[in-house]
Structure 1
Amino acid sequence: MQSDTAYAAVHKRKKPFPQNARLLERIGADIASAIIAAVAVAPAICMIDKSIVENASGKRRLTSSIKDSIIHLVTKPQTFFLSRTFGLVAMVYAGTYIVANTTDTFLSYRKGNESITEVTAGTAKFAGTSSTNILLTLVKDRNFARMFGIGASKPIPLPTYALFCARDCLTILFSFNIPPVLSRVLPDNIGGLSSLSTAQILAPAGCQFLSTPLHLLGLDLYNRGAKLGMKDRFQAVSANYLKSSLARICRIVPAFGIGGVLNSKCRYHMMRNIEESIRSDQVAAG
């Protein structure tokens, strides 16, 4: 495999390319890359998401919840990977990566003269990935709140939905749109990583210090209702802010850092193979 530096250099290179070349095969590579990345990162995210919800509700301590989830994964992996919690998390990230990948493919297809390995950072990608991620994450969060919150299952209040939407918009912005821009000012080959790979890890991790209060406030509104004053809300959020931020960094680095890098690299290598095959066909055809 190529080094990260070589990967980044080739990734930015533009080549003339036939507009309609193997579009279905390219979409298949988009989907395969997304599923590989999602399944790889979902176990860690699943454990952390569950622990944050249980800790915010006062049901269990964060570390205790993570410990039990690890034991479950090690002792009963078949039930862990077939569980509803794992399925919900894998669904969120597979869906988000698929939309990000296919957006790049269709934009490349429309331009007609770009390398099919190119990644974009425009409005279309943000709109597609954010709307998909918000919808799927709301489904996941609604189920997690009901499964691991306190008291009887109840409807998710609209303010909680709004806060979760704002949280997810920030996450998507810092996971898919900020990294290509940030990579331009970062040095290459930091710890063996390209500037793009480094940005894909740093940007979503740093975002959690902004998005975690939105997440905690949404959970508090669900768990304790809407009648409490702002002072009580602030105390609840501030009490859990630091450990929840660190926990969310631990989940976002796999989700959109490591997962984003894995998805990008899998897609790049699959697309490069398709591109080389098409080039060979072009040469053979004269």
Structure 2
Amino acid sequence: MAGPANELRKQWNTKNLGGRLATDFVSAFCAASMVAPVISIIDRSIMENASGRATLSDSLKSSFRNLLLRPQTVLFSKPVALIVMLYGGTYLTANTLDTCTATVKNRPATLVTSGTTKFFASSASNIGLCIYKDAVYVKMFGPATGSPRPVSLPSYALFTLRDCLTIFASFNVPPLLGPVFESKMSNELRKKISGQTMAQFAAPACVQLISTPVHLLGLDIYNRPNGHAGPVSWQDRWTQVRRNWLTSSMARICRIVPAFGVGGTVNAKVRRSLMERLS
């Protein structure tokens, strides 16, 4: 006689579950590998500019020159591997959550969610991986003088806030904003690009104007800790942040477009295409 637990399982969508989980992994890391080199170069330039090691333009020129002339030194480097780990893990978390939700709620395999559960799960994954990445990057590309210091709790807290803003704009806003864009678009424009795709590019980019000063303040606390000469005033820190706000915001927008615009779109489209074959 079938019990309540067996009746519940019959309502789950477990068709090709192993293949669907493999699809989540493949789409996540394909997207992350595609965008990692550019993101790594931009992250390095922002940190070197904030620490005074090199200007933003000089760092970008040097890194892109190496990518062009000696691609193996960039593509197979530790900084790029860290970015693949960061965004591959973030996409994978969002993907597997969608698959688990589709399974338990007996929904199609192509389901994409946009609720608080996805926000907290994606944030936890992204923040944990990004804190590790930032700790390594800031030591590699921070001040050239002296030995690398441990990253302080205030810097970690500011990096966490920065990532929460970006994750919310990247995973939760596009599914909500996409239909709004769609309703305002002409039929001809809809044939060329969907409202969801427009939202996937616009939302993460726009939030960088808010999250960049948070990021810069975290870097400044690491680069200029309170020392024997006395504490660094918040006014002085704000002056430093404001000086780099515009250029760093533009750089982070250029960074976030591949990270959650191109990468997010590639991840979503590859996942949907593979899931449709498994349905």
Out of 118, 137, 142, the position equivalent to 2:130 is 137
1:179 match: 174
3-state secondary structure, aligned to 1:156: coil
Contact 1:142 1:156 in 2 (8 A): yes
2:19 match: 25
Contact 2:12 2:104 in 1 (8 A): no
Q: What is the CA–CA distance in structure 1 between the aligned matches of 2:74 and 2:50, rounded to whole Å?
A: 23
Contact 2:139 2:149 in 1 (8 A): yes
Deviations 1:91-118 (A, max 9, x none): 1000000001000000000101x21112
2:261 match: 257
Alignment of 1:108-119 (within 5 A): 108-112=102-106, 114-119=107-112
Q: What is the CA–CA distance in structure 1 between the aligned matches of 2:44 and 2:193, rounded to whole Å?
A: 31
Structure 1 stretches of at least 4 aligned residues deviating more than 3 Å after TM superposition: 188-191
3-state secondary structure, aligned to 2:13: coil
**TM-score using structure 1 length:** 0.88
- Give 5+ residue unaligned stretches, structure 1: 1-16, 276-286
- Give 5+ residue unaligned stretches, structure 2: 1-10
2:40 match: 46
Q: What is the CA–CA distance in structure 1 between the aligned matches of 2:225 and 2:12, rounded to whole Å?
A: 57
Out of 262, 266, 269, the position equivalent to 2:270 is 266
Q: What is the CA–CA distance in structure 2 between the aligned matches of 1:18 and 1:134, rounded to whole Å?
A: 31
1:79 CA displacement: 2.2
Q: What is the CA–CA distance in structure 2 between the aligned matches of 1:262 and 1:117, rounded to whole Å?
A: 14
Write the letter of the residue equivalent to 1:122: G
Contact 1:190 1:198 in 2 (8 A): no
2:232 match: 228
2:7 match: none
Out of 248, 257, 279, the position equivalent to 2:252 is 248
Bigger Cα displacement from structure 2, 191-200 vs 141-150: 191-200
1:176 CA displacement: 0.1
3-state secondary structure, aligned to 1:185: helix
Contact 2:12 2:105 in 1 (8 A): no
**TM-score using structure 2 length:** 0.90
1:269 CA displacement: 0.1
